Every structure is written in C-alpha cells, then in structure tokens.
C-alpha cells in the first residue's frame, strides 16, 4: 500500500467498480464533469492520501458538490432524465 | 463415480417467473416522484419502457408466465448446470456439501441475459424497433446486444469512451451480435454534444452514457431504453435461476441450509434466492446470505430509511438501506449506495429478517477466487468472488461445528475478461480497510431526523 500525498502516475491502475475495468487516477479525478467521481475517496484511499489531496485541490463548494450531494436512486435518475430529454425534445 | 453436474432436461425449464412481491411479509412502499411527491406511475416511465415491463414492475401476481418465445430462446443456454464442488470441499476438509449454480455458461458469460432476453421480447411485441442502453466495460451491453439479435431488434449501446478505447473485447462482442456501439459522449445526442463542446477529448462517464441512452429513447418513438439491474422486473426475470435450482436440488436429494449470493444492485442474488426465500417465509429453516464488499457496507451497517433526493431534503424516494445523504466519513465513503443503493426489495427482506447481509474484505474475495479456480477450475468474475469467499467461511464454520451443512451459491459469471483485477491482487496492489465504528455512528446521527418507513428499526452496530 502506498500512503503518499501525491497520486500515483499513469502506469498505476486500479479496478473501477462502476465501469468494471482498470483505470488510472487521472480519470477518476475529473470523471464527474470536471469534478472527481463520487467514489474516488473509496477507491483510492488505500493507494495514497486521496482525501488530503482533494481537500487541498478543491474549493469548499467543489468538495460539497463532488462528495456531499445526496444520493439518487436509479428510479429517480431515470425519471429526471426522461423529464430532461422531453425538454430537449420540445426545444 | 460421483455425479458432478446436475442437469435439468429442457422440458423442466421453469414456465413461470416467481414474483416475491406477492409473498413479502411487509408490503413494499412505493417510490415517489421527485416533482409531484406522488407515487411514480406508468405514464412517468412509459417514454422509456414498454407497458408490459412497467406492469411487471408493480405486479403483485405470485407467478408470471414466461412467454413461449422467451422459453425457446432461454434454451440456448438454460437450464444451466448445478455443480457439486467436490474438490473445494476436499481442499477445505469440510463436511459441508457445496453446490454452485453456473450462470457463466450463457453466451455472454453471466446471468445478465436472463433479463436482457425478456426485456428484448417485451419490447419486440410492443412495437419497439430499437433498444438503447449504456455500458462501462460491457457486461450488460453485450448481454443486451446478444438478446436483441435473437429477437431481430436494433441495439444502440452508449459505451463510456474510456472503456470503448481500453476494453475492446466486449465492444467487439457487441458488434459481433450486431449492436451499434458508440463511444460516449457521442455527437448523436444533445447530452453528448454539450459535453463534447466543452471538452472534445472527454473520456466520458456512466452518468453521461445513461443520459445519452435515455435521451435517444425519448427522442425516437420507435426506441425504448433497457436497464440491467436494481428494478423489480429485472429481479423477476432472474428468478428462472432459483426456480431451476429448486428442481436440481431435489434431484440431488438435498435442500440448502445456507444460500449465498453476491449483491451489488441485487439482481443476480435476488434471482438465485427469492424462490427459496418463499420457502423460508412459509416456515423452512435456512440461512440466506447476501454478500457485499466490506468497504461499502450498504446492507450490513446501514439503517433502513428514506433517502432524500435533493439538497433541501424535500423529496423522499425509495426506502432503502443507507448510511445517509451526508455520509462522507474519512477516509472512506459509502460510495456504492450514493449511486443507487441496494434494490429496495432486498433491503426490505433484510429488514424482515429473511436475508442476512455479510461483508467480505477485498483481499479475502480474491484469495477465495484463486482457491476456487485452483480447486474447481473456473475463474470467477471479481463480484462473484464475494459469494465464493462467504461459501468458504461457511464451509469452514461447518467444519468447526462438525455439521454436514448443505451450501448452495450462485456462480454468477466468469472473470475471463477481468484478469487485470487478478493481476493487481497477485502483484500485491490491493489492500483492505474496515469502516470505523465512530464513522458509522456519525452516519446514523446524520439521518436520525429523517422520516422512516413505518417498519423502520434501528440496526445493531
């Protein structure tokens, strides 16, 4: 286990439980429209001091947006996406 | 020579799926629409699902007939064999009898075609010409592609671009089955175009891919969307597995004392155990174990409560096991549940004491997977290894107790396109972490003031 404060390089990959294959930290860091993936702290904390890294890297509002937003169920996600697509259709 | 595999003749393929909603001791509470606060109704979902699937989503009928056209195509790989794991038993020196249901023999290599086939059929008879979906590495996308091909449907798969570029084999599988697989974000949807305008080199994400797949379905009257996990109708279709197992165990002359499955979204677990859970509801004594990763203890530690879907806490959603909306313990987060949580039916059955959740650390799962591969030959998908690890625990427990328990588990898929995860384990790149008790308490305090379903009970810690 590496517990360093800097992220591993591009030669270091771990399994992404969402995608189902190996990825580098650079993907997780910007996965959510430029913000980190909401699971990044789960997945990377055993590999380096990922929380410390993002505490320094992100503004407080970015931290909240990335990690403290409420969860969404799949049903809610679908209903919201349907509504969003209908708006797109009308416009 | 002892019987290793128990086959069912094709004539014994189950003719109905089992719907556990008809037998649940505590009726499920409905999901509520985020905008209206009213239960989500057929009209809310009709833009993306055919009515037959929406009806199944809310059906209270105990058994639902499997149409002949689906049965004919289930026969491509079903009934799947039930194995007796003699070599694993011998290795563990356990008196337990270990059986596993091999769902890895489907053309796509996992349990997922059990529902993909049914969804393709109901779309076909509803007039759908094209099904859209999203996928990461491609396990679900490949299952749906194969099943669309069998029913002559077009299949449009939005594959996360980084996966599209890095994992070509399942993409090629999808294309081999005739699917139109595009890298997401794509230029084919407004959602994709918006992202590409901001960043032409975007590697994509599952969130973007879902947006594209739903938009593509809504924008085209001939298209619908398909989902491979969590929802009730998905678990319903998966019960063909457990129903076969009941017949095969009868042939073996055994009945499981312990039933085990891995639980991510819950569908492979549900399909395997629900027919047996019905027996348990009716008085049968057995231990039904849902296994999850120790790093994401959705079921084992979380209370059963409403989660809230917006920042001002005004939209109660599906009741589910959760650690709370603001749960961000350091250094680990309850990440899985922040995505979609465990399937609500599975959560309710845990609450009712019919299913026992257990968590297994990552390293133990891979060690179990390697033990299984070296004794029984099959290389499991990383998720399946959670079930294998729990089987080994229970078999060793039976050894300590000197009991000849019968253990049955779901071998939900092979790991032949997941070898990089095994490599990481064997190179010592993986490690474990246990969630601290004080972080759990903090999470429980966080949701203490939120409304609870009437059957809420505070969990033991």
pLDDT in the model for residue B6: 98
Q: Report how far residue B461's alpha carbon sits from residue B457's, in angstroms, rounded to the nearest whole number.
A: 12
Total of domains in chain A? 1
pLDDT higher than threshold 60 for residue B451: no
Interface test with A, best of B188, B311, B339 (most A CBs within 10 A): B339
- Give the pLDDT mean for B31-52: 88
Residue in B162, B199, B227 closest to A23 by CB: B162
B287-293 and B356-360 strand pairing? parallel
Cβ within 8 Å, pair A74-B219: no
- Contact at 8 Å (CB) between B378 and B387? no
From chain B, pick out residues whose CB is under 8 angstroms from the CB of A19.
136-137, 160, 162-163, 206
> Is A4 among the domain residues?
no
- The whole-chain average pLDDT of chain A stands at 84
Cis link prior to B279 (omega < 30° from 0)?
no
Give residue-wise pLDDT tens across range B345-389.
887 888 788 998 887 888 899 999 999 999 999 999 988 999 999
B45:A82 CB<8 A? yes
Which residue does chain B place closest to A78, by CA atoms? B214
- Inform me whether the pLDDT recorded for B108 exceeds 90: yes
Report pLDDT for B438: 62
What is d(CA B264, CA B292) in angstroms, rounded to the nearest whole number? 7
**Distance (Å, rounded) from C-alpha B145 to C-alpha B156?**
8
In this structure, is residue A7 part of a structural domain? no
pLDDT of B445 reads 60
Kindly report which listed range (A45-59, B124-138, B193-207, B292-306) carries the lowest average pLDDT score.
Answer: B292-306
**Residue A47 backbone dihedrals phi, psi, to 5 degrees:** -100, -30
Contact check, Cβ <8 Å, A21/B166: yes
Question: B230 and A39: CB-CB below 8 Å?
Answer: no
**Chain A: residue nearest B338 by CA?**
A71
Environment class of B37 (CB within 10 Å of its CB; exposed 0-12, middle 13-18, buried 19+): exposed
The whole-number pLDDT of residue B337 equals 28
Distance from CA of B124 to the nearest CA of A (A): 21
Please check the confidence at residue B314 and state whether its pLDDT lies above 60: no
Contact B396, B366 (CB under 8 A): no
How far B395 CA lies from chain A's nearest CA (Å)? 28
* CB contact (8 A) between residue B210 and residue A77: yes
User: A53 in a domain, yes or no?
Assistant: yes
Mutate one of A50, A74, A80, A87 to test the B interface: name it (highest B CB count within 10 A).
Answer: A74
Q: In angstroms, rounded to a whole number, what is the distance separating the alpha carbons of residues B275 and B71? A: 19
- Measured CA to CA, the distance from residue B96 to residue B99 in angstroms comes to 10
**pLDDT for res B434:** 54
Q: What radius of gyration do chain B's Cα atoms show?
A: 22
Residue A46 lies in a domain: yes
CA B207/CA B192 separation, integer angstroms:
11
Which of A52-66, B77-91, B296-310, B426-440 shows the lowest per-residue confidence on average (mean pLDDT)? B296-310
**Exposure on the CB side of residue B84, measured as CA atoms within 13 A:** 18
Q: Is A35 left (phi over 0), alpha (psi -120 to 50) or beta?
A: beta
In a domain, A6, yes or no: no
The pLDDT confidence band at residue A1, using thresholds 50, 70 and 90, is very low
Query: Tell me: the pLDDT tens digits for B171-189?
Result: 999 999 999 999 999 999 9
**How far is the C-alpha of B274 from the C-alpha of B288, rounded, in Å?**
10
Which of A8, A14, A15 would you mutate first to test chain B, the one with the most B CBs within 10 A?
A15
Which residues contact residue A55 at a Cβ distance below 8 angstroms, ignoring those fewer than 6 apart?
A63
User: Span B298-324, mean pLDDT?
Assistant: 40
Task: Please tell me the distance from the alpha carbon of residue B208 to that of residue A11, in angstroms, as a whole number.
Answer: 26
3-state class of B350 per DSSP? helix
Whether B336 has a pLDDT exceeding 90, the answer reads no
- Confidence (pLDDT) at B216: 97
Q: How far apart are the CA of A54 and the nearest CA of chain B, in angstroms? A: 11
A3 assigned to some structural domain: no
CA distance A37 to chain B (A): 9
Residues of chain B with pLDDT > 90, as a percent, come to 66
Contact B186, B212 (CB under 8 A): yes
Contacts of A70 in chain B (CB under 8 A): 307-311, 313, 325-326
Structure tokens at B295: 């790093």
Residue B253 to chain A, least CA–CA distance (Å): 38
The Cα B17–Cα B140 span in angstroms is 21
Element (H, E) at B288: strand B287-293
pLDDT band at B294 (very low <50, low <70, confident <90, very high): low
pLDDT of residue B437: 62
- Structural domain span for residue A83: 13-90
Strand pairing category for A13-16 and A21-24: antiparallel
Domains of chain B: 5-13+44-105+232-426 (3.40.50.1100), 113-225 (3.40.50.1100)
Q: At A6, give phi and psi (nearest 5°).
A: -105, 145
Q: Is residue B415's pLDDT more than 60?
A: yes
Q: Is the per-residue pLDDT at B449 higher than 70?
A: no
Residue B442 has pLDDT above 60, yes or no: no
Q: Is the pLDDT of residue B23 over 80?
A: yes
Query: In angstroms, how far apart are the furthest CA atoms of chain B?
Result: 66
Residue B264: pLDDT above 50? yes
Beta-sheet strands, E only, within A1-91? 13-16, 21-24
The pTM of the full predicted model, rounded to 2 decimals, is 0.88
Q: Report the gap between the CA of B29 and the closest CA in chain A (Å).
A: 14
Please provide the average confidence, as pLDDT, over all residues in chain B: 86
Q: Where are the beta strands (DSSP E) in B119-239?
A: 130-135, 154-160, 180-184, 223-225
pLDDT at A76: 81
Quick one: average pLDDT of B308-333? 35
Q: What is the pLDDT of residue B34?
A: 72
Instruction: Check CB contact under 8 Å for A74 and B227.
Output: yes
Of A42, A81, A88, the CB nearest to B295: A42
């Amino acid at each position: 286990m590496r517990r360093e404060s800097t992220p591993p390089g591009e030669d270091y990959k771990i399994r992404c439980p969402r995608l189902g294959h190996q990825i580098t930290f650079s993907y997780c860091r910007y996965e959510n429209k430029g913000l980190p993936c909401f699971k990044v702290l789960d997945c990377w904390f055993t590999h380096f001091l990922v929380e410390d890294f993002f505490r320094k890297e992100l503004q407080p509002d970015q931290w909240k947006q990335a990690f403290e937003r409420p969860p969404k169920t799949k049903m809610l996600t679908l209903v919201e996406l349907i509504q969003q697509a209908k708006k797109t259709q009308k416009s | 020579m002892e019987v290793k595999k128990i086959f069912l003749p094709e004539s014994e393929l189950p003719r109905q799926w089992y719907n556990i909603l008809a037998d649940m001791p505590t009726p499920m509470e409905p999901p509520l629409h985020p905008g209206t606060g009213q239960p989500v109704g057929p009209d809310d979902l009709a833009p993306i699902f055919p009515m037959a699937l929406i009806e199944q989503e809310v059906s209270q009928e105990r058994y639902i007939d499997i149409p002949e056209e689906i049965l004919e195509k289930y026969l491509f790989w079903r009934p799947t064999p039930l194995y007796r794991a003699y070599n694993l038993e011998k290795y563990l020196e356990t008196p337990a009898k270990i059986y596993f249901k091999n769902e890895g023999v489907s053309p796509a290599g996992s349990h997922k075609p059990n529902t993909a086939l049914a969804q393709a059929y109901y779309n076909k008879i509803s007039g759908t010409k094209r099904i859209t979906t999203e996928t990461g590495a491609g396990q679900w996308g490949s299952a749906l592609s194969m099943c669309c091909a069998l029913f002559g449907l077009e299949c449009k798969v939005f594959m996360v671009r980084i996966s599209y570029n890095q994992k070509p084999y399942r993409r090629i599988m999808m294309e081999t089955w005739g699917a139109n697989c595009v890298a997401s974000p794509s230029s084919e949807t407004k959602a994709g175009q918006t992202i590409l305008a901001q960043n032409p080199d975007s590697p994509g994400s599952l969130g973007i891919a879902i947006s594209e797949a739903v938009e593509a379905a809504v924008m085209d009257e001939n298209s619908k969307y398909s989902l491979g996990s969590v929802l009730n109708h998905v678990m319903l279709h998966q019960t063909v597995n457990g129903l076969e197992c009941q017949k095969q165990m009868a042939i073996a002359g055994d009945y499981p004392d312990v039933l085990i499955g891995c639980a991510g979204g819950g569908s492979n677990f549900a399909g395997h155990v629900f027919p047996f859970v019905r027996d348990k509801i009716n008085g049968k004594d057995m231990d039904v174990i849902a296994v999850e990763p120790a790093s994401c203890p959705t079921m084992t530690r979380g209370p059963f409560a409403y989660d809230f879907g917006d920042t001002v806490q005004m939209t109660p959603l599906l009741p589910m096991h959760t650690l709370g909306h603001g749960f961000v313990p350091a250094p680990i987060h309850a990440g899985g549940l922040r995505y979609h949580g465990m399937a609500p039916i599975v959560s309710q059955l845990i609450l009712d004491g019919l299913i026992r959740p257990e968590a297994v650390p990552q390293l133990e799962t891979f060690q179990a997977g390697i033990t299984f591969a070296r004794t029984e030959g099959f290389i499991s998908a990383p998720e399946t290894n959670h079930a294998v690890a729990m089987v080994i625990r229970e078999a060793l427990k039976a050894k300590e107790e000197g009991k000849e328990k019968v253990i049955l588990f779901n071998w939900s898929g092979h790991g032949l396109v997941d070898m990089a995860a095994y490599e990481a384990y064997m190179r010592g790149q993986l490690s474990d972490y246990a969630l601290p008790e004080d972080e759990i308490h903090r999470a429980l305090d966080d949701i203490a003031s939120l409304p609870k379903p009437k059957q809420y009970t505070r969990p033991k810690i």
